[in-house]
Amino acid sequence: MKVSASFLSSKDIPKDLVQLDHTDIDYIHVDIMDGKFVSNKTMPFHEMRHVGDYTSKRLDVHLMVEEPSKYIPLYAELNTEYITFHVEVLEDIEANLDLIHHYSIKSGLAIKPDTKISSLVPYLPFIDMILVMSVEPGEGGQSFIRNTEKKLQEVRDLVESYHFPIIINVDGGVNSETVKYCSDADMVVAGSFITSSDDFQEKITSLRS
């Protein structure tokens, strides 16, 4: 199980990023919110771009925005391995996936808890990751939605039926208790579970076991 750490709920982002850099975390999960697609808004790019000043870990960027095309070129400048945006956006999804690949970055599609997984089917040949939201996107510290276990099973069946090498990721309310419901995922995102603890590495290790 790979683990991506979100700093959305961090009280001291630079300090937490430096601390994460000294763990075996696989990715730093960067949540980007525009105040439109979701009600909350994150810091602007001219501040967010300094993430790389505090960690050498690869970035897993999650765009919770109405217009991914405005953000993809910006976050492609950073040490980014994945850029994921939502299948629910109104912009041209294939065009945005092509734009991500133009920068030689892996692409992902995120799906909200109430969105049917059939909405992903047309894009399976073009994506590298599916991000299953186990909370409503836009706010840290929410509780894991128990029905996500079934959704992850359905997404796993979907991916395997089409034989595409797609990573399944899950984001929201993941901790050492709820991770047992994520056995069909290849990767989990954890935020406050890690960053509010006194021992980041111990929490990361507990998610892998």
Hey, where are the domains in the chain? 2-208
Measured CA to CA, the distance from residue 191 to residue 183 in angstroms comes to 19
pLDDT per residue as tens digits for the range 113-128: 999 999 999 999 999 9
| Three-state DSSP state, 4 | strand
Choosing from 16, 26, 31, 60, the catalytic residue is: 31
| 171 given a catalytic annotation | yes
CB 117 within 8 A of CB 158: yes
Signed CA dihedral, 191, 192, 195, 199: sign only? negative
pLDDT per residue as tens digits for the range 175-189: 999 999 999 999 999
pLDDT per residue as tens digits for the range 61-84: 999 999 999 999 999 999 999 999
Choosing from 16, 60, 171, 184, the catalytic residue is: 171
How large is the C-alpha radius of gyration of the chain?
A: 16
Looking from the CA of 104 toward its CB, the CA atoms found within 13 Å total 3
| 31 given a catalytic annotation | yes
Q: What is the CATH number of domain 2-208?
A: 3.20.20.70
